[in-house]
């Protein structure tokens, strides 16, 4: 379940807890705290990349009955439902695509400045050529070390294509609420 993306419906908003419960079609509702919901607040695109930004009130982020696209960040345990976030990230072999990010970033484990420069220049070329769309940002994983431009391009384009396939809630696809929109493949398949 971890990493799966659901189109859910907000069941309850609890301002006292600064949290909401989201029906994702499982036996227990998923929990979403204000930190995980802040992307849904008006004007939130400006603060998504700033972890120190003040959290908006949960009632400014979501309301009961609202359909929301969420990703599982913690599996359900015992009597508790899954924990979810509105900040979706799709993991590929070399990259993680984060549609809400404005810029690209590197895994903390990539410390070689020469390799960081090579990868950053590669991403700039891919965006300039139109191979990779301008929307969203990528986190370059440690697996990207030594990867070719072709490998990075295929991974990036594939992740953006997957995102577009299920994130356009006005277009086709299964938009029954609640519904599983994307099932994470896990590290072995990536």
For residue 23, what are the β-bridge partners? 9
pLDDT at 166: 80
pLDDT at 42 over 80: no
How far is the C-alpha of 18 from the C-alpha of 3, rounded, in Å?
23
Residue that finishes a domain, picked among 36, 55, 87: 87
Is residue 52 in a domain?
yes
Are 82 and 95 found together in one domain? no
94 three-state secondary structure = coil
The CATH number assigned to the domain holding 19 equals 2.40.50.140
- What range defines the domain where residue 63 resides? 5-87
Are 53 and 121 found together in one domain? no
pLDDT tens digits, residue range 111-168?
Answer: 999 999 999 999 999 999 999 888 899 999 999 999 999 999 999 999 999 998 887 7
Residue 118: how many other CB atoms lie within 10 Å? 16
pLDDT at 40 over 90: no
pLDDT, mean of residues 83-105: 94
Are 95 and 36 found together in one domain? no
Residue that finishes a domain, picked among 35, 64, 87: 87
Compare 16 and 190 and report the one with higher pLDDT. Answer: 16
pLDDT at 117: 97
Are 35 and 104 found together in one domain? no
Question: For the chain, what is the domain count?
Answer: 2
Are 98 and 82 found together in one domain? no
How far is the C-alpha of 41 from the C-alpha of 36, rounded, in Å?
11
Are 96 and 160 found together in one domain? yes
pLDDT at 107: 96
Percent pLDDT > 90 in the chain is 74
What are residue 91's phi and psi, to 5 degrees?
-90, 130
Are 74 and 54 within 8 A, CB to CB? Answer: no
pLDDT at 112: 94
Residue that finishes a domain, picked among 53, 87, 121: 87
pLDDT tens digits, residue range 1-32?
Answer: 999 999 999 999 999 999 999 999 999 999 99
Write down the H helix ranges in 13-148: 34-37, 58-61, 113-129
Is residue 24 in a domain?
yes
pTM: 0.86
pLDDT, mean of residues 72-84: 96
């Amino acid at each position: 379940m971890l990493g799966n993306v659901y189109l859910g419906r907000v069941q309850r908003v609890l301002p006292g807890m600064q949290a909401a419960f989201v029906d994702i079609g499982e036996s227990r509702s998923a929990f979403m705290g204000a930190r995980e919901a802040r992307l849904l607040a008006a004007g939130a695109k400006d603060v998504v990349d700033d972890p120190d930004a003040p959290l908006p009130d949960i009632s400014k982020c979501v309301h009961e009955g609202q359909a929301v696209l969420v990703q599982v960040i913690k599996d359900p345990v015992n009597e508790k439902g899954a924990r979810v976030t509105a900040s979706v990230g799709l993991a590929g072999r070399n990259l993680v695509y984060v549609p809400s990010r404005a810029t690209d970033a590197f895994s903390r484990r990539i410390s070689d400045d020469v390799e960081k420069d090579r990868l950053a220049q590669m991403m700039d070329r891919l965006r300039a050529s139109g191979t990779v769309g301008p929307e969203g940002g990528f986190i370059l994983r440690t697996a990207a070390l030594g990867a070719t431009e072709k490998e990075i391009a295929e991974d990036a384009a594939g992740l953006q294509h997957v995102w577009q396939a299920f994130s356009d809630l006005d277009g086709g696809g299964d938009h029954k609420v609640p519904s599983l929109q994307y099932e994470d493949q896990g590290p072995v398949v990536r």
